[in-house]
A and B are shown apart, each in its own frame.
Chain A
Amino acid sequence: MSARASRPNGILAEVGLARIAAVTATVVVAVALQSTVLARLTLLGVIPQLILVVVVCLAFTDGERVGVVTGFFGGLLQDLLLPQSITGLTALVYTLVAFAVGMFRIYAPQDSVLAPVFAVTVATAVAEFGYAAMAIMLGQPWVGLEFTIKVAGLVILYNTLLTPFVYPLVRRVANRYRPERVYRW
């Protein structure tokens, strides 16, 4: 059997099963950490949104396609773990944010240390206020404006501080499991 015949074709070859498994494991670990360890190590009672940091880092590393898929499933996983909240809302917000990060990353300076940190800061601000606005519009019981601003501000700070630790790990996973580029003639 030739090497060409043994290689999977189509979308699986482009995405890669190992890559899907690695990204899924990374997101699940982020969810578990966010709801256990980080939920206890809060900053003034606020939990960092590690799933969002992972999604943005993946979008920054691998582009908008990977970002959109990871953002949707990462957000949906978080939604499904939240009781009495609007399922699909976090998925929608993370999908849009990850797409924007994936699109704008080409304008970031190559090998810049600050670029992913800046991307996470801006993405977190958009995601936090975007989620709050949509949740209020859809009639979810909500806290006061002052509380929302306090939470959003602290999450932006916390996520920004986490990025220098999370981004190298995510980039290592992304590089390790990125499939060979498939050329079709």
Chain B
Amino acid sequence: MLLLAFVALSIAVVTLDFRQNSGGPIKRARDVTVTVVAPIQRGFTTVTRPVGSFFSSLAELTNLRGENERLKARLAQAEADADGLPQIEAENEELRRDLELKKSWRTMDSVLAPVISNSPSNYKWALVIGKGKRQGIRVDNAVMNSEGLVGKIIRVDRNYSTVLLLVDPAAAATARVGDLGDSGLVEGNGGGERLTLSSIDVTSDVSVGDEVVTLGRDQGIFPPGIEIGFVAEVGGSAAALERLITVEPSVDFKSLQFVTVLLETGDELQPKKKAK
């Protein structure tokens, strides 16, 4: 009897979830659950992260000296590059407005957020981050880190947000190969797996090692030019209508500790014409 009651309750929840649109009791239950559980997860993460970092540091001890040298060299190069950067950025923004190009993600307002927890499932790739509505984050904001595109915001709470990672099978981004190359759709295939780049014409000139970046055309939520990864494999026969391309993502999705949320999306990415 008890089994039947709880099985019926489960089926009722599944049905309710299917029937509800953007609001509804399931969404409210999700909001309450994240609000209650996220502080506990934050506590666990705060306590255990130093221990985890200590063990991973031990494992990487042999590589640290070489990495230190490489980073010093990159810092010196970056400092040299940064000298003329503000002027170049201002000119770039001016030209973009004149050419009615979308706003570059490099000049957007953004928020740095710590990763609070990962998805507890092996079939859903998402994160909860420790910034939310109070910091100006909204649904569909792009999320990235120094390596490239991480995903997008799918749920926002007062102090927490949920990020759907690009590797999730439900995630996708319009993309182009190289600076002026063909455009297609990048889709996730699960954690640890390569991304799929589809809708690329069979006559296109795509080769292994080409950089794949966000396209950002039309009402796409991602700004153009954010690195997604590199072409790892190009397949598809001559008789096929499109190429079968896999992309190695630039981001290491397993070790995300901090991410950057871009605070503009959709229409706001469109150029604002100057008053004549």
| Bound: A76/B9 CA distance, A | 11
- The answer, yes or no, to whether B26 is at the interface (CB within 8 Å) is yes
Q: Are B154 and A83 in touch, CB under 8 angstroms?
A: yes
- The answer, yes or no, to whether A142 is at the interface (CB within 8 Å) is yes
Taking A34-B120, A45-B191, A143-B189 as known contacts, 10 extra A-B pairs with beta carbons closer than 8 A to each other, sorted by chain A number, are A46-B122, A76-B13, A79-B13, A80-B26, A81-B34, A83-B126, A84-B126, A87-B17, A88-B16, A143-B169
Q: Which residue of chain A has its CB nearest to the CB of B26?
A: A87
| Chain A residues, CB < 8 A from B2 | 64-65, 68-69
| Bound: A13/B9 CA distance, A | 24
Give the interface SS of chain B, mostly helix, strand, loop or mixed: helix
| Bound: A36/B120 CA distance, A | 8
Sampled A-B contacts (16; CB under 8 Å): A32-B37, A32-B43, A35-B117, A36-B44, A36-B45, A37-B44, A64-B2, A72-B6, A72-B10, A84-B124, A87-B17, A88-B12, A89-B10, A92-B10, A147-B193, A151-B123
Q: Are B37 and A96 in touch, CB under 8 angstroms?
A: no
Q: Are A51 and B120 in touch, CB under 8 angstroms?
A: yes
Q: Are B7 and A135 in touch, CB under 8 angstroms?
A: no
Q: Are B14 and A87 in touch, CB under 8 angstroms?
A: yes
| Chain A residues, CB < 8 A from B13 | 76, 79, 87-88, 91
Instruction: List residues of B whose CB falls within 8 A of some A CB.
Output: 2-3, 6-7, 9-14, 16-18, 26, 29-30, 33-34, 37, 40-41, 43-45, 48, 52, 116-124, 126, 128, 154-155, 162, 164, 168-170, 189-193, 254
- The answer, yes or no, to whether A47 is at the interface (CB within 8 Å) is yes
Least CB distance from B234 to A in Å reads 20
Contact with B along A155-175 (1 / 0, CB 8 A): 100000000000000000000
| Chain A residues, CB < 8 A from B7 | 92, 95-96
- The answer, yes or no, to whether A33 is at the interface (CB within 8 Å) is yes
Q: Are B44 and A32 in touch, CB under 8 angstroms?
A: yes
Least CB distance from B104 to A in Å reads 29
Best-buried of A41, A44, A84, A99 by chain B (most CB within 10 Å): A84
| Chain B residues, CB < 8 A from A72 | 6, 9-10
| Bound: A64/B3 CA distance, A | 9
- The answer, yes or no, to whether A77 is at the interface (CB within 8 Å) is yes
Q: Count of A residues near B, CB < 8 Å?
A: 56
Do A77 and B33 contact each other (CB < 8 Å), given the known contacts A31-B120, A35-B120, A151-B122?
A: yes
From B14, B116, B122, B123, give the contact of A88 (CB < 8 A): B14
Least CB distance from B66 to A in Å reads 25
Q: Are B14 and A86 in touch, CB under 8 angstroms?
A: yes
- The answer, yes or no, to whether A109 is at the interface (CB within 8 Å) is no
Least CB distance from A173 to B in Å reads 18
From A41, A47, A89, A144, give the contact of B120 (CB < 8 A): A47
| Bound: A169/B14 CA distance, A | 32
| Bound: A45/B190 CA distance, A | 10
Q: Are B119 and A82 in touch, CB under 8 angstroms?
A: yes
Q: Which residue of chain B has its CB nearest to the CB of A48?
A: B122
- The answer, yes or no, to whether A141 is at the interface (CB within 8 Å) is yes
Q: Are A36 and B154 in touch, CB under 8 angstroms?
A: no
- The answer, yes or no, to whether A9 is at the interface (CB within 8 Å) is no
| Bound: A66/B122 CA distance, A | 26
- The answer, yes or no, to whether A22 is at the interface (CB within 8 Å) is no
- The answer, yes or no, to whether A115 is at the interface (CB within 8 Å) is no
| Bound: A64/B6 CA distance, A | 12
Q: Are A84 and B6 in touch, CB under 8 angstroms?
A: no
- The answer, yes or no, to whether A39 is at the interface (CB within 8 Å) is yes
Least CB distance from A75 to B in Å reads 8
